[in-house]
A and B are shown apart, each in its own frame.
Chain A
Amino acid sequence: MKNVLKIATAGSVDDGKSTLIGRLLYETKSLEEDKLKAIETSSRNKGYDYLDFSLATDGLIAEREQGITIDVAHIYFSTNLRSYIIADTPGHEEYTRNMITGASNSDVAIILVDARKGKLPQTERHFLINHLLLTNHIVVAVNKMDLVDYSEEVFLEIKKTIEELAIEYPDANRTIHFVPISALKGDNIIEPSLNTSWYNEKPVLNILESIEVNNSFNTVSLNIQNVIRPKTEQYHDFRGYAATVRGGDLAVGDSIEVVASGQKSKIKSIYLAGDSFKKAKEGSAVIVELENDINVTRGDFLIVGNDKYVKQKSIEAQLCWMDHTALSERSTYLLQQGTSRVRCKLKVSGEKLMKHHLNETDALAINDIGTVSIKTSKEIIGTSYATDKNLGRFIIIDEKTNNTAGVGFIL
């Protein structure tokens, strides 16, 4: 299997996100003839004299009608070097929750900026969201360079404004690449453009091909999904726990601690589909047996080895609110960390990092990002997101509507 790179686009409306993806698909010959033909026909019907590549990803009728992206589309293509999953995300502020959906599952963000408009409020919002996610690789693609005569001055000016943002939201592990492009004309997408002879760095695809993903985690854990009791004659006494190995490798003989109860045991065996393994590498979906019968149920976290973690009933976190109903400090919510759920109460505790343009109140409303204090009904793992991305993230579910109302990052 080829090494997979997950990418999400970001940036304001009409900065050309979908067009860039379409162009990448076209240049890497990933658009099959029937799909390309459909784009040609649609472009012609709309009276365009160019191919509207956004039609490759704007898959909803309403999106094509309005010429905007409403929800994230997942696009798959590969080169000789690696496979790509691109989440093409919407630029509109009102669809920020869909942008977060795409960005949260990606290793790289491509933030597009319209060369004529420069940094917009949405550019900043999306930069901040990627900052919260601790996205390690950001490609700032200054698009529509053809409309500013491929001016180096314009490019450098925009680069400076983004670098200022990076100082405001610092992250030592982050690398930012800047590249001047025209998604529509194809400049600096897969080949260096003659129109930007002053630009000596790589085109977009070469940058993507060379990115190395290095997600470091500090804690090896198993988050139990199901208890496996076959109750067949052959496996009458079998009691296994289904989970994915996260944060590192797991080996038979490793000691574990159940977070909820503090009980300890050791890994007796590791299985997948009838095969037994001495060791399972990170990312393996396995079934484990423990050496002694302790109480383990769905939702439990098993911390492997002597990895340190903290247990708390009150945490501080940064929270992106994604629901149309504003956060209510009097309501109870469900906090889901991995597969574990607890009741909680939320209290806005700090200044908002980012406000929805219409929201004048102190409460956290849709698309607001702020710091909250959270009290939970039971102890949860309080490891910060910066320490361990797997453990330090959670969602907030509104029990009244069942909606996923927020996504949080433990501080």
Chain B
Amino acid sequence: MTPQKLSKIENVEFTINNILEPNLLESEAIYIIREVVGQFEKPVLLFSGGKDSITLVHLAHKAFYPAPIPFPLLHIDTGHNFPETIAFRDELVEKLGLKLIVAHVQDDIDAGISKEESGRYASRNLLQTATLLNAIEKHGFDACIGGARRDEEKARAKERVFSVRNEFGEWDEKNQRPEVFELLNGTIDHGQNVRAFPLSNWTELDVWNYIRSEHIEIPSIYFAHQREVFIRDSMIWSVSPHVYKDEDEVTQKSWVRFRTVGDMSCTAAVFSHATEIDAVIEEITDSKISERGARIDDKRSEGAMEKRKQQGYF
């Protein structure tokens, strides 16, 4: 299947423009994606359905066009997704003619590899790690391109662009390879893999501005909509079969949107009336809370992200 052009001009191929003024963040991300393809035999793009991984797909498309994206997408499906993100995922894959691999957390629970958490804060977030590592091993992936950004979280601020994982998927955060200039060294032994982060130097606002300027489509839950929610620990939780709710927790219908999208059990909403992208960008610019302030998975302890990363998390 011939890949479709992503930009707004769908019917004109190779329009002639005069001068290309680079967006340096875009150039850097494309450079990194191309290095992954140049240095590894079996790369994969970790796709969550969130805005960062959608941006990655857009960048990968730009990096190789008119050739198709030369690697598949891998979605670690917790089974607790927002239905909107799954529908969006399938449309995107269809439109661009991509190969999608879905690994189900449920399968690992059924096989006894993972154990479902219970209680008020039960989430399948942590269980994704085992499913991810199994999928990497099963398919023999040697590089996983991820949408993590350094501005998101303090442990991520420490990570290299090419970050080596051993055969157990572990990140040795105290002994990372030096990474000088733009010179990336992805040499690894068989069984190891590299996590590659093209968006390392992007901030949340950079991603949003890029989505706006490139007219990239994103799932509707990023924009304000009415939803049945309840408040716990000053966070806004969605009412869903996948989210534990005490009987005395009162629900309400509110205008909300999601600033970051994990699965339903670990992503809290924010109150918002921003129904289109300009309003979203304005809201983020004025926000006094960080993006991951709405991530329940980061709140478990001060080193929550680092501990997950050590074990092989995204």
Contacts and interface: CB of A to CB of B under 8 A. Distances in A.
Interface of A: 1, 4, 32-35, 38, 42, 56-62, 64, 70-76, 85, 97-98, 100-101, 104-105, 225-226, 228-235, 238, 242, 244-245, 270-287, 298, 322, 334, 336, 338-339, 393-395, 397, 399, 402-404, 407
Interface in B164-184: 173-174, 176-183
A402 B302 contact: no
B118 interface: no
Nearest to B19: A279
A62 B310 CA distance: 13
B67 A273 contact: no
Contact of B183 (A72, A75, A338): A338
B18 A277 contact: yes
Contact of A225 (B38, B154, B160, B183): B38
B178 A226 contact: no
Given A59-B155, A229-B67, A274-B14, A281 B179 contact: no
Interface stretch (B20-28, B49-57, B267-275): B20-28
Contacts of A231: 67
Contacts of A245: 22
Contacts of A338: 183
A75 B209 CA distance: 19
B61 interface: yes
Contacts of B66: 228, 230, 232, 234-235, 238, 271, 274
Contact of A404 (B7, B61, B68, B177): B177
Contacts of B35: 225, 339
Contact of B203 (A76, A273, A394): A76
Contact of A71 (B5, B13, B158): B158
Contact of B180 (A34, A101, A235, A281): A101
B174 A62 contact: yes
A250 to B, nearest CB: 9
The interface residues of chain B, by DSSP majority, are classed as: loop
A6 to B, nearest CB: 9
The interface residues of chain A, by DSSP majority, are classed as: mixed
Contacts of A277: 16-20
Interface in B273-314: 287-290, 293, 302-303, 306-307
A275 B289 contact: no
A244 B18 contact: no
Interface in B1-54: 2-3, 5-7, 13-27, 30-31, 34-35, 37-38
Interface of B: 2-3, 5-7, 13-27, 30-31, 34-35, 37-38, 61-68, 150-151, 153-158, 160, 173-174, 176-183, 185, 187-189, 200-201, 203, 209, 287-290, 293, 302-303, 306-307
A365 to B, nearest CB: 15
B178 A322 contact: yes
Contacts of A72: 158
22 contacts: A4-B24, A60-B158, A60-B303, A72-B158, A73-B157, A100-B178, A101-B178, A101-B180, A225-B37, A229-B67, A234-B2, A242-B63, A274-B7, A275-B7, A275-B20, A276-B17, A278-B17, A283-B22, A395-B183, A395-B185, A399-B187, A404-B180
B290 A228 contact: no
A27 to B, nearest CB: 16
Contacts, number: 210
Contacts of A242: 34, 63-64
A298 B38 contact: yes
Given A71-B174, A273-B5, A59 B185 contact: no
A60 B37 CA distance: 30
Nearest to A323: B178
A32 B290 contact: yes
B37 A226 contact: yes
A97 B38 contact: no
A108 to B, nearest CB: 16
Nearest to A38: B302
A235 B290 CA distance: 45
Contacts of A244: 27, 30-31
A404 B178 contact: yes
Nearest to A75: B157
Contacts of B307: 61
Contact of A61 (B63, B189, B209, B306): B306
Most A CB contacts (10 A, CB to CB) among B18, B64, B209 go to B64
A401 to B, nearest CB: 9
A272 B23 CA distance: 12
A59 B22 contact: no
Contact of A74 (B25, B178, B201): B201
Contacts of B174: 60, 62, 70-71
Contacts of A282: 22
B34 A225 contact: yes
A32 B293 contact: yes
Contacts of B16: 276-278
A34 B27 contact: no
B15 A34 contact: no
A234 B35 CA distance: 26
B19 A281 contact: yes
Contacts of B3: 232
Contacts of B61: 273
Nearest to A396: B185
A59 to B, nearest CB: 3
A276 B178 contact: no
A101 B178 CA distance: 6
A281 B31 contact: no
In the complex, the 4 A-B pairs of residues with the closest C-beta atoms, listed nearest first: A59-B154, A285-B30, A273-B62, A284-B22
Most B CB contacts (10 A, CB to CB) among A245, A272, A278, A282 go to A272
Given A272-B62, A277-B16, 15 more contacts: A60-B158, A71-B158, A76-B150, A76-B151, A85-B201, A97-B178, A98-B176, A100-B180, A101-B179, A230-B67, A231-B67, A232-B68, A273-B6, A277-B19, A395-B183
Most B CB contacts (10 A, CB to CB) among A232, A233, A280 go to A232
Contact of A275 (B15, B24, B155, B187): B15
Contacts of B151: 74-76
